[in-house]
Chain A
Amino acid sequence: MDHTKARERESQCIQEQPPACTSACPAHVDARGMIECIRKNDFSAGFAVFNKTIPFPGIISRICDHPCQIACKRIEAGEAIRINSLERACVEYGRETQKKRLYVTKKDKKVAIIGAGLSGLTAAFDLASKGFDVELFEATHVLGGRIREFDAQQLPQHIINADLVALEDREVVIHLNTQVTNGKGGSASFDELVASFDAVYIGLGPHAVDHLNIDLSLTPSGRIEIAPITYGTSNPKVFAGGGHRYHHVAYSPITSLLDGRLAAVSIDRLLQGASLTARREQEGPFVTTLYTNTQGIEPLQAVPMSIKAEGYSREEAGNEAHRCLQCQCLECVKVCEYLAHYGSYPKRYVREIYNNDSIIMGTHLANRMVNSCSLCSLCKEVCPVDLNMADVCLDARQSMVKKGKMPPSVHDFALRDMQFSLSEAFYLVRHEPGFSASSALFYPGCQLSASSPHHVARVYKHLRSTIKGGVGLILGCCGAPAFWAGQEELFQRTIRTTAEEWERMGKPRIITACSSCYRIFKDYLHDLPVESLWTVLDNAELPEVRQVMKPKPMAIHDPCATRNDRAIQQSIRRIVAKLGVQLKELGHHPELTTCCGYGGHMSFANPEVADKVVNRRITESDADYLAYCAMCRDNFAARGKRVLHILDLIFGTGSDETARQKGPGYSQRHENRAKLKTEFLRDLWDEKGAKREPGMKLIIDPEVSELLERRMILEEDLLKVLGHAERTGEKIKDVKTGRFLARHRPVSVTYWVEYSAGEAGFIIHNAYSHRMEVSGDVQ
């Protein structure tokens, strides 16, 4: 994964974008964080969050024009959160009475602030906090400007005075009754201030200033020309803002505060010799890209105040805070057990996976995470910006394979299963008996052949009887396991072989019963005219069979590979309707279907996550499930969910017992495929199948069988071990039990078998494996 791509994907995830309230607030108060504290009944912490951004919390919590509340997402389900009232509650119940000691490194620069309205006060506060010597010049006898004009009940004078102590704490020198002007009647000269201070901020309120006779460019209405972003004026040392810029609109205290703050940023940058304009895009109010889903949230009105003049009581504030949605996106994490399992969200995951891919020395901590994704793309389906973790994980897997860093154990078993399907034991390409050409090729797929070989035979018979011109057959594997394992070369080789066979067979259309094969052919073999068996059956007559079972309404599970194949999903539903079975939908949209735990080799890489995925799916409805992918059916059945494959309905073999039946184990799956080929050859082409080794008879009791299944040890592995041991005599005898222990390493795994010879065959007592090579030849 290259760095730019990783950065791009990382920045695509919107989870860390600020909530709507914060982005709408000119000062970006972390209202969500503050409210979270109130929810925990910690008003002091809430106050600290508010005060971190707002220098005058008493004032702002009472007079803010709160644009945050217009943006609040709660509006979509009730009323906006009364954020401003909650701020006031934080001040009332959480304000620290003890003064904190301030540690400020003094800077050798002086700034003059002219005008002590909210913008001037904020500029003075911010610059003094940064260590500048600040002197504040106010024409009247009192600080505050227009904030003194508010109704005394809304904003009592003592609240203002309490807030302004912060300026004293920061050693701001205050000159009251001091009008700064170059004109008549002033008590200080503007030009002298400009000359004796390193920078000047003017926050003079809405009135025209032409009478002051100051040497700055003015607008035709007599107001100072102020540059956007920097708040600079025609004099590079002089900055201005506040109500002076907004003389034509209603007073917005929070905007005045912002002006003072941003002008202070410019002054700080000027005095440090930094760029005044760089990286200021995120200042002031903006529209956040954070998505918050409010669907299904119970609408709630704002909590009323019992005594309006006193604001919220603690309890009322707590109740109001609990209405807050604590806006987050997490759309993908909410629907995906895999993404939830790792406790974070894609932005972080992309970074972890990129780091995992880039490190040269040390442990690759995210290997398992990379390999645990089912690659089902449900995350992309629900993501407001279409970020797909499947792409991220697949890229990482391919990169690991290229670098030789893919843990061998993860995909090995599945890849060997694929090799089995492509070996003589199963692989078969034929025209229909009696035909030298094919108008269609039936491609059942390896897993249906393993789970339900009898259905494959029935479907092939049905297709032969309904499609003219010969229906050929391909038994094999589409290459999906290689694709999921990140083995690009092997995958390309596999699909090329399929393409060549298809050409050799005269390029007929391909009918596949497997949704994964369908997807692979559609996506990677564009010339191949592939159709789903389900659309073919939907468009033709269904086999005439008598229903054994009249099922109750069933819940349909679409395999994740059909997520965006609406036509297939609809065909299935029409077929089921023709069969007279009632269907229930799982969730609202088939596009939001989930993986069964098998996709991407999730169940091999991380059985724990796969279990969570399957368990979540099978508990969505109490109804029996209907699947049309063999792996989905078997995975659900393995966890005790009653489930049928649609072919069980089509061929009338569905019964109460079929619905309860578990799928075959790994060994039986191989056996079923091999048998299917042998029977096809015998029954249709009158040929004997490939010679199979005259088997040793193995006797395995169910408990041992289950252990073998968990350890992914096949009967053919046992046979290899026993064959080797009996042929070479290389075995160990346990004197006490009389049993033999033998081992064999066909390729990369050493299998150990504990066995004894019985009258009817070899009795298997235990088996285990390891990948480490062990040698007794030590030099």
Chain B
Amino acid sequence: MSEEKNAAPEPILLCAKCSVEMKIGKVKASYLGSEFPIELLKCPICGMVYVPESLATGKMLQVEQALEDK
């Protein structure tokens, strides 16, 4: 994606609600009836997931569009 920023070093992210560091974990992405297990940063306590910009405007967008044309 043209709007994608250059790959920056992995940020250290904290879940502000639980005050713990977000860790890579299994999450579920779903759209139009299709489900995909993926690994993303999430809060080990409340489960809040972080979707980075590069994913949302890149691969995720491509998959969304492909599913919309199924």
Contact = CB atoms under 8 A, between A and B. Distances in A.
The answer to whether A and B interact is yes
Which label, helix, strand, loop or mixed, suits the secondary structure of the A interface? mixed
B61 A770 contact: yes
Interface string B7-28: 0000111111100001001111
Nearest to B19: A733
B13 A734 contact: yes
A728 interface: yes
B68 A407 contact: yes
A775 B49 contact: yes
Interface residues of B, number: 39
Contact of A770 (B16, B26, B27, B64): B64
Contact of B56 (A407, A731, A769): A769
Contacts of A768: 53, 56-57
B27 A731 contact: no
A468 B61 CA distance: 56
B39 to A, nearest CB: 10
A737 interface: yes
A743 B43 CA distance: 14
Interface in A762-779: 766, 768-778
Interface in A720-777: 728-737, 740-741, 743, 750, 752, 766, 768-777
Nearest to A356: B69
A367 interface: yes
B68 A409 contact: yes
Nearest to B13: A732
Contacts of B37: 778
Given A364-B69, A367-B68, A776 B47 contact: yes
B50 A773 contact: no
B27 A775 contact: yes
Contacts of A368: 69
A769 B31 CA distance: 14
B65 A409 contact: yes
A221 interface: no
A707 interface: yes
Contacts of A407: 65, 68-69
A365 interface: yes
Contact of A772 (B13, B22, B30): B30
A363 B48 contact: no
Nearest to B36: A772
A408 interface: yes
B11 A772 contact: no
B13 A733 contact: yes
A707 to B, nearest CB: 7
Interface string B48-70: 11110100110011011110111
A731 B16 contact: yes
B70 A741 contact: no
A710 interface: yes
A287 B61 CA distance: 52
Interface string A518-530: 0000000000000
Given A365-B69, A777-B47, 8 more contacts: A407-B69, A408-B32, A729-B16, A733-B16, A735-B12, A737-B11, A743-B51, A778-B25
